[in-house]
Structure 1
C-alpha cells in the first residue's frame, strides 16, 4: 500500500475515530485548557535507530515522498516485513528460515513503526481540517493551532522514514587517516596546505574527535609539504569522506611584491581505518627498515634508529613514520598508515564500480578533480560539486561552524543521490523480473 493520505487509515490496526468523538475532544479541550489532542512530538518520534543526516529542507523531503518509486519501495519493504512475521509464526518454517526472518523483521521494524505513525498523523490532520470548517469560531481557532503542530509532526516522520531507507556505507563509522600534500604553486601551495591541515585539526576538536599527527614535513617558510594524521571518533569517516580531492586557493602570496593574484593547489585524501576483520596482512609480505630520523629533535634524532619504513611487497605501498622518539611507536603508526592505504585501495576499486555516475564521490589521493576553491580577494569558499558558496574565509579556516555547514550539505546531497540510486536500481530490478519470468 502506498503511503498517501487517501490510504493511511486502511493500514491494519489503525481505527479511524468517529468525527463526533474528535469534535467532542476539542470542545473538552476548549473548556479545560491546553490538553494535547495531537500526541506530543517527543512521544510520536521516540525510537532507537540512529538517523542518517538528511536534508532538513522540507521541500526536498516532500519531493522525495512524492516519487512513485519511493512509494513502491516502501510498499515492498512493508510487505517483506509482513511476510517475515508470518514466516516466524509458521510451523513449517525451518530453523534457518526462522532465523533469517527474525533478522529481517528486526531490521524493518523501525521503518514499519514510523510508517504506522505517519498514517495516524495524516488521519489526525484530515480530522483537524474538517473541524477547521466548523461553525464554532473557538473550535476553528483550536483546530488551526493543532493543524500547524500536526503538519510539523508529519514532516518529522517523513524525514525519519527517508533517513531509515537511505543506504549507508560500512565504513561510515570508521576512523580514518588524513593525508595532505602540497600541489602546484611552490611555497604558496605549501602555506595553504598548512592552513588546510590546521583547519581539519581544529574541526576534529570542534567535533570532539581525537586527532594525532603521524607524519609532518614542513617547508622552509613555515608551510607544509606533506602530512598524515589519524582521526578517531563518532562517524569520523562519514563526515570527512567527501573532503578528499584537489583544493584550490586564489590569493596574493605574502612573498608577492607586485600584488599579483596566484592560484595554487593542494590535495586531501581520506583513508578509512580498517578493523582486523576487514583486513589481514601477512607478515611475510612486509619489509621493515629502520633508520635515523631527520629534522628537528635534538641529539636523540641523530643517535638512534627510531624512524621506521614499511614496504608491502605485493602492492609496493610504503608507509613511514619518524614522529615519535620510540621505534616501537613509530612502527605501530607506520603499520596503521599502511593498513589504511591497503584498505582504501580495495574500497576505491569497489566504489568506482558501484558509483561512478554520482556527482559527489569519495575523494582519495588518486582523484584529481578540483572540488573546492578558496578565493581570498572575494572572501568566498565555493564547493563546485553542489554549487554552494560561503563567505568569511577566516571563520571557515577556523574549522568550526562554517566548515561543518558545508560538510553537512555535502552529506545531505550525497544521501539524496544514494537514495535515488537505490530507487532506480530497485525499479530496474523489478522491470527485469517482469521481462524474465524465471527470476520471479
Structure 2
C-alpha cells in the first residue's frame, strides 16, 4: 500500500508542475483534465501525509520507551501510543478505501430513464411513483432533474419518462438504481382488494460527450414534430420536438422539453450517445465474463434489484439483502441509506477481489 501511495504522491507533485506550464494553461481541455486529476490526487495525498505524521510520532514514542529511563517520560510515551495506534488503524482503512479505483464516469451528468414493465396501468402508475421518488431525492440532495421526454399512462403515471440529472456526482450517486423495481400492493383499479405485483425498469446512464462516443450523423435520421408537453404557446404549433433514429442499432430517442428545436436536438443526441455507450458496455461485460461483473453495480436493466411491499411497509434491496420498514419515507425520496449500503458493498467487493493490498 505504501508503494502505491508514494507513486500517487509523486504523480501529484508532477501534475502540480504541469498545471502551471504555459502550454497547459493555453489548452483549456488539457488544463481541465489536469485540474481534475490534481484535485482527485490531493484528497489521497493529504490523508497520506497525515498518516506518515502519525507513523513518525509512533516511531518517536517507541524510541522513548526503548531508551528513556525517566518513568514520567515513559508514561507519557505510553499514553501517546495508546492514542496513536487506533488512529493509525483507522487511517489505514481510510487509505485502502481511497485507493480503490473510482469509476471515471461518477462525476458525469446522468440520464435517468423509467419505463413501465409488467402490470399494465398499475405498472405505469408505479413508474410515476418512482419518478416522484427520484425527483424528491434530487431536491433534497442539491441535484437538478430535468424531464426530456415522457409518455403518460392511460390511468396516470408514465409508460416512459426520460430525464437528465445534473449537480455533484449525479451518475456516481444514482448508478446503483439501474434494474427492475417491483411493487406489491392493491392497485387503484382492484375491486377485490387483492395484492398485485407490478414492475418498472430504471436505467441510469452516464452522459457521454462526442469525444467519448462518436456517432456518424449519416447513420442518424432526424424527425421533427409538435411538442405535447409543457412549453407555453409553442406547444402543438411549432415543430420543435426532435426524434432521432440510429440506423445501426435501431435506437430511437425523442426530446421535447425545450421550445428550441436546436436545443432539443442537442439533448436528444446526448441521450443517444449514452444509450450507444450502454450497448457497448453490455457487449464488453459479456466478453469479460459474468465472474468479473460486480454484483452491486452491473447496471443490467433486466436484473430485479428492489421490491416495494406496501402491505408490510417494507423496501428490500435484493442485491445486498437490505430492508427498511419505512416505505412512505422511501417513496418521498429517502433512499440515501440504500445508496450508501450499496457503495459499501461495492467497495468490499473490490477489496475482496484484490484491488487494494
TM bin, normalised by shorter chain, reads 0.7 to 0.9
| Residues 4-403 of structure 1: pairs in structure 2 closer than 5 A | 74=1, 76-77=3-4, 113=49, 116-120=52-56, 122-123=58-59, 149-294=83-228, 300-354=234-288, 356-357=290-291, 358-364=294-300, 367-400=301-334, 403=335
Q: Deviations over 1:375-430 (max 9, x none)?
A: 11111111111111111111111113xx1011011011112212332449x8xxxx
- Following superposition, the deviation at residue 203 of structure 1 comes to 1.2
> In structure 2, how many angstroms separate the alpha carbons of the residues matched to 1:362 and 1:125?
47
Q: Deviations over 1:267-302 (max 9, x none)?
A: 000111013331232322221111234467787443
Worse overlay, 323-332 or 370-379: 323-332
> In structure 2, how many angstroms separate the alpha carbons of the residues matched to 1:82 and 1:321?
45
- Following superposition, the deviation at residue 201 of structure 1 comes to 1.3
- Following superposition, the deviation at residue 168 of structure 1 comes to 1.0
Worse overlay, 206-215 or 285-294: 285-294
Change (3 A) 1:375 1:147: farther
> In structure 2, how many angstroms separate the alpha carbons of the residues matched to 1:221 and 1:125?
72
**SS in structure 2 at match of 1:339:** helix
**SS in structure 1 at match of 2:137:** helix
Equivalenced residue count is 324
Change (3 A) 1:418 1:354: farther
Q: Mind listing any 5+ residue stretches in structure 1 that lack a counterpart?
A: 1-73, 85-102, 427-440
How large is the RMSD of aligned CA atoms in angstroms? Answer: 3.5
For the Cα contact (< 8 Å) 2:100–2:355, is it kept in 1?
no
**SS in structure 1 at match of 2:236:** helix
> In structure 1, how many angstroms separate the alpha carbons of the residues matched to 2:286 and 2:10?
35
Change (3 A) 1:181 1:121: farther
- Following superposition, the deviation at residue 349 of structure 1 comes to 2.8
Q: Deviations over 1:199-221 (max 9, x none)?
A: 11111122211210001211122
**SS in structure 1 at match of 2:296:** coil
Q: Deviations over 1:150-196 (max 9, x none)?
A: 35523431232112211111111111100000111111111111111
Change (3 A) 1:80 1:376: same
Report the equivalent of 1:409.
341
> In structure 2, how many angstroms separate the alpha carbons of the residues matched to 1:157 and 1:287?
55
Q: Mind listing any 5+ residue stretches in structure 2 that lack a counterpart?
A: 12-36
> In structure 2, how many angstroms separate the alpha carbons of the residues matched to 1:129 and 1:351?
55
For the Cα contact (< 8 Å) 1:125–1:151, is it kept in 2?
no
2:353 matched to 1:421?
yes
- Following superposition, the deviation at residue 115 of structure 1 comes to 5.0
Change (3 A) 1:252 1:83: closer
Quick check: which has more Rg, 1 or 2? 1
TM-score (norm 1): 0.65
